Amino acid sequence: MRDVSRMRWLTRLIVLLWAIALPQPGFAADTTGGAHEQAQRQITQPANNAPFWRDVRRGENTYQTTQVRGLETNVLIQTEGQTWRLLRPPVYSVGGFIVMLALLGIFGYYLWRGSIKLHEPPTGKLIRRFSDLDRFAHWTVAISFVTLAITGVMMTFGKYLLLPVFGYTLFSWLAIFAKNLHNFVAPVFLLALPLLILVFIRDNGLKRYDVEWLKTFGGMLSKTGTEVPSGRFNAGEKAVFWVMVCILSVVLCISGVVMLFANFEQGRLTMQSANIVHVVAALLAIAMAIFHIYLGTIGMKGAYKAMRTGYVDETWAREHHEIWYEEVKAGTARQQFAENVPPRIRMQVEQSVDQGISEATPREQ
């Protein structure tokens, strides 16, 4: 009986020693690769932990385990984050340069050409160019876009432009305000953008006469030239519609949603990629918007009042969108001559073009 129990005890001891002597799963990794290199490094250069951190950055699981359940919770250092951090300054610089170039270009164009004015006096016959829905969609997108652009630029370039001027305390408040305003205005833009696309897509189809317009940029690059005939919107406006509205703004919305709603299991790399795409699309869209806003305000007499009130004078329509004007006259356009325009609005429209009559008539040019 005693022999049997002694044998059992001996067997257990042998099994235990055998188990200890067998290499453990983690043990193999510990004696090779980064861990081995790290051990060596401690002999040659004590306190130099570069091999250890290289392993961590590589995402080697040897060191990175956690009980916390969730996406990437076992990633101590996310390597792509470093690439993202390094990528941002050059992207900002190139984007900022493009925006500055657009501003300078517009400024130079204004000095050279001035406001585009009418050649003939207004006739007093008004056309309803934009419906209430057109204007609602336009101004909701325009106001939200401008707010997003200003707050976005504050976040992107604030560290370089505002911080040195305002100091840490004020800049911190401004940056927090900009970020929150940006986050809350974004959904307005997101909802209004499809409506804008829907109401304007019909008249932004490319036509043969748009090619003629593009060849000379509609005559806008000649100081005295008359405009190339166009439909309700000219090829320049169509480019704005397709590139700035349908491509860049849609990309902005998608990449913005990826960053805004971080609760959909998207990892850090997805968010970092979305951030770069968002900044690139935003800066390109802002550069295009600068041209659009210039021509919609001081660049062309009567344009702003058209979008503000919905009406244009017959002369404005004939000189800037001749083909569309002929369609309105023939009754084939959806827009029509307007009756019973409130006197206040009539006055605003007439004044906006009256002040803008060019000294030279088309015949003199």
Stretch that binds ligand HEM, among 24-32, 76-84, 290-298, 343-351 (CB under 6 A): 290-298
Q: Is 289 in the site for ligand HEM (CB under 6 A)?
A: yes
State the sign of the Cα–Cα–Cα–Cα dihedral 280, 274, 182, 236.
positive
Q: Which is nearer to ligand HEM, 34 or 310 (CB)?
A: 310
Is residue 99 within the footprint of ligand HEM (CB under 6 A)? no
What x-and-dash track marks residues 187-226 binding ligand HEM by CB under 6 A? ---------x---x---x----------------------
- Spell out the residues 6+ positions from residue 304 whose beta carbon is closer than 8 angstroms to its own: 296, 297, 352
Among 245, 251, 283, 317, binds ligand HEM (CB under 6 A): 245
The CB-of-155 to ligand HEM minimum distance in angstroms stands at 18
Binding status of residue 296 toward ligand HEM by CB under 6 A: yes
Position 303 contacts ligand HEM (CB under 6 A) = yes
| Separation between Cα atoms, residue 77 and residue 141, nearest integer Å | 40
Residue (154 or 248) nearer to ligand HEM, CB: 248
φ, ψ (nearest 5 deg) of residue 32: -125, 180
- Kindly provide the b/e burial profile for residues 50-64, where b requires at least 16 CB atoms within 10 angstroms of the residue's own CB: ebbeebbeeeeebbe
For 171, the 3-state DSSP assignment is: helix
User: Contact with ligand HEM (CB under 6 A): which of 185, 271, 304, 356?
Assistant: 304
Minimal CB distance residue for ligand HEM: 296
Among 138, 278, 301, 318, binds ligand HEM (CB under 6 A): 138
Q: Answer yes or no whether residue 349 interacts with ligand HEM by CB under 6 A.
A: no
Q: Which residue has the tokens 């006469």?
A: 209
The single residue listed with the structure tokens 């007439």 is 350
Compute the least distance from the CB of residue 340 to ligand HEM, in Å. Answer: 22
Task: Round to whole Å and give the CA distance between 53 and 252.
Answer: 36
Tell me if residue 207 falls in helix, strand or coil: coil
Q: What is the phi/psi pair of residue 35, to 5°?
A: -65, -40
- Could you say which of 151, 230, 249, 275 contacts ligand HEM (CB under 6 A)? 249
> Residues 6 or more apart from 317 whose CB is under 8 A from it?
127, 129, 324, 325, 328
Residues that bind ligand HEM (CB under 6 A): 138, 141-142, 145-146, 196, 200, 204, 233, 237-238, 240-241, 244-245, 249, 289, 292-293, 296-297, 303-304, 306-307
